[in-house]
Structure 1
Amino acid sequence: MTTFVLIHGSSADSHYWYRVTPLLEKAGHQVIAPDLPAGDDSADFDDYAAAVIDAVGDQSSGVVIVGQSMGAFVAPIVATKVPTELIVLLAPMIPVSGETPGSWWGDTGQPEAVRKYAEQNGFDPEFNPVTIFFHDVPKDVTDELMKAGEPTQSEAIFGRKFPLDAWPAVPTRVIACANDRMFPLPLQERLSEERLGVQPDVIESGHLAAFGHPDLVAQKLEEYVSELG
């Protein structure tokens, strides 16, 4: 049995994984999906990681840490404190030492990547959550999420630095999304190679893959586990 530790991104909570969790549990795995202290103005990434570490408890082996979007700032910190077999980054903001989420956009060229992708695919690059995030999420799921409202997210975290000096010595895989309008595939491919030295695996999904295509996310995670042996 593998323990999957699922870390959500910004402006989200553990509910992000509600469609993936039962698929992994049905396959015989344990799932831990904690809430990060996203609404706390005083929290930094060590605090985010501490919330995950507390949720993991005394797991001694078989842990796969999955970080979605800004969860990529948290997953590697957790991996330095928890015995980890694999880090998986899903549609991630891959950080480098000392980088903040606020500076990441300009550092990586994300705005230009979105403009170019929007021109090629015929959508408005100006930020609109329905256009950018929910274009391939089922309507019933979208309606439920819109009714519930967006979880509170402190803006302070966008000024907090990624604290690690280097990426941990843990095998790392990247799942990029072919139809991601927030982090277009060419951007994901370039950052994966430049910052981690890995080629991403690609699934047919937009940015919110766990909402839109949970089966593809779970399938890829199970493939990784089978490769671990």
Structure 2
Amino acid sequence: MATYVLIPGAASAPGYWHLLEDELRARGQDVVAVDLPCEDDSAGLAEYAQAAVDAIGDRRDLIVVAHSLGGFTATLLCERVPVDLLVLLQAMIPKPGEAPGEWWANTGYEQARREQDERDGREPGDAVDLFYNDTPPEVVAEAAKYERGQSGTPMEKPWPLPALPDVPTRFLLTRDDLFFPAEFMRRVVRERLGIVPDEMPGDHMPMLGHPKELADRLEAYRAEL
């Protein structure tokens, strides 16, 4: 039995993972959805990583799945506990010395988003469309209860490692994400990981819109270990 360690993105309670948790448990796996101190102004990336370590406890056979901003936390976690596989799910990929708040400019995100909005003929600022354009409306309505505030503290200090962790890593890209456009993410993955991402349908929140397919993908990765 593997343990899937699910690291949320910004301003997110662990409840965002509940549909994926159900799918993975139905397949006989253990799941830990990490509760990050995202509203605590005293907590930075080190505290986020420690929260994950504490949630894991003495579990082993770990597959870490990181979403969005969670990429900064998960890569630190891999230096603190033995990890069999890191799966970056539409996640931000750090580089040494880069603070999360600098990632946007360093990757050319704003220009990529403007170009995507122009291609789509979409007005910027529609949060529901931006994050949930491929999630059923009833699931979107329920997701509101998992929203949290997000402190700016973890955005300020540089990611502290000299290199990305030496852990088997896969990047799973969702093709229909309007927040992190696919063309932009393919480039970032190529530049920062040197790999071609795997792709699946879905918006920025595939754990809600496509939990079964996401579980199938993760289990396929596990079978290859």
TM-score by length of 1: 0.95
Aligned counterparts, 1:92-131, within 5 A:
92-124=91-123, 126-131=124-129
Runs of 4+ aligned structure 1 residues displaced above 3 Å come to: none
Say whether the 8 Å CA contact 1:45–1:163 is kept in structure 2. Answer: no
CA distance in 1, matches of 2:16, 2:65: 12
- Following superposition, the deviation at residue 161 of structure 1 comes to 1.9
Aligned counterparts, 1:145-224, within 5 A:
145-146=143-144, 148=145, 150-224=147-221
Aligned with 1:144 (options 137, 142, 156): 142
Say whether the 8 Å CA contact 2:13–2:147 is kept in structure 1. Answer: no
CA distance in 2, matches of 1:89, 1:72: 6
Residue number in structure 1 paired with 2:63: 64
CA distance in 2, matches of 1:29, 1:142: 26
Report the residue type matching 1:66 in the other structure: V
Give 3-state SS (helix, strand or coil) of 1:5's partner. Answer: strand
Report the residue type matching 2:89 in the other structure: L
- Following superposition, the deviation at residue 128 of structure 1 comes to 2.4
- Following superposition, the deviation at residue 142 of structure 1 comes to 1.1
Say whether the 8 Å CA contact 1:39–1:153 is kept in structure 2. Answer: yes
Report the residue type matching 1:26 in the other structure: A
CA distance in 2, matches of 1:149, 1:20: 15
Give 3-state SS (helix, strand or coil) of 2:24's partner. Answer: helix
1:89-111 Cα offsets, whole Å, 9 max, x none, are 00111111121121111110111
The size of the alignment, in residue pairs, is 225
CA distance in 2, matches of 1:203, 1:118: 21
Give 3-state SS (helix, strand or coil) of 2:207's partner. Answer: helix
- Following superposition, the deviation at residue 127 of structure 1 comes to 2.6
Structure 1 alignment gaps of length 5 or more: none
TM-score by length of 2: 0.96
CA distance in 2, matches of 1:116, 1:215: 31
1:3-24 Cα offsets, whole Å, 9 max, x none, are 1000000010111101100100
- Following superposition, the deviation at residue 37 of structure 1 comes to 0.7
Say whether the 8 Å CA contact 2:14–2:146 is kept in structure 1. Answer: no
Give 3-state SS (helix, strand or coil) of 1:88's partner. Answer: strand
Residue number in structure 2 paired with 1:76: 75
Stretch deviating more after TM superposition (51-60 or 25-34): 51-60
CA distance in 2, matches of 1:164, 1:193: 20
Report the residue type matching 2:69 in the other structure: M
Stretch deviating more after TM superposition (137-146 or 31-40): 137-146
Give 3-state SS (helix, strand or coil) of 1:140's partner. Answer: helix
